[in-house]
Each structure stands twice: as structure tokens, then as C-alpha cells.
């Protein structure tokens, strides 16, 4: 699957989403293991999603499940922070 680049130096849309998942998870005081349990995925899988090194691309279904578990809209998960622009 090809990943389209956004027109920003922050990387791909996956990079923005992975940073936001980690940000919102921490804001809610959750560990990656706790998020994994809420989503029904393995702890390692969540760690790979959040990892800048793993570069794992995840499904839309997983994206939706994580947004629901974090009580964050999908719009918020794809929104770039001002530092990324």
C-alpha cells in the first residue's frame, strides 16, 4: 500500500496520526497496554503503531477503534499540530 505524503515537513498522515495517538493516550493517563486492552489489540501492536521507527501502517478499522477508545474524533487524530506545519 502506498502512503501519500502530506504537504508538510511532519511526514505522512500516518506519522501525524501516530504522534496524536500517543499524545492523546498520555493526556488520558493511559499506558499503551491499557489502550491495547480497550481496543482489543496486543500491547506490541500499539507500541508499533506509536513507534517512529516501526513505520507500521494500520487499517482504518484500527484507526476508528483507537479513536473511540481515546474518545477522540478522527479529525483530531489526523490534525497536524502547529509544530508540524
Q: Cβ distance 67 to 57 under 8 Å?
A: no
How far, in Å, CA of 69 to CA of 85, rounded?
A: 27
The length of the chain, given as a count of residues: 85
What integer pLDDT is reported at residue 12 of this predicted model? 86
How far, in Å, CA of 36 to CA of 58, rounded?
A: 14
Question: Which three three-digit cell numbers place residue 51?
Answer: 513507534
Cα 3 → chain centroid: 15
pTM of the model: 0.81
Q: How many CB atoms lie within 10 A of CB 18?
A: 23
Express each pLDDT in 11-64 by its tens digit: 888 899 999 999 999 999 999 999 999 999 999 999 999 988 876 678 999 999
Amino acid at each position: 500500500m502506498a502512503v501519500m505524503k502530506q504537504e508538510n515537513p511532519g511526514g505522512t498522515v500516518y506519522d501525524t496520526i501516530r504522534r496524536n495517538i500517543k499524545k492523546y493516550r498520555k493526556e488520558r493517563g493511559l499506558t499503551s497496554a491499557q489502550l491495547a486492552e480497550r481496543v482489543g489489540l496486543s500491547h506490541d501492536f500499539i507500541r508499533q503503531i506509536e513507534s517512529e521507527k516501526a513505520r507500521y501502517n494500520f487499517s482504518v478499522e484500527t484507526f476508528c477503534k483507537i479513536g473511540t477508545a481515546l474518545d477522540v474524533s478522527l479529525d483530531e487524530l489526523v490534525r497536524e499540530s502547529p509544530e508540524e506545519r
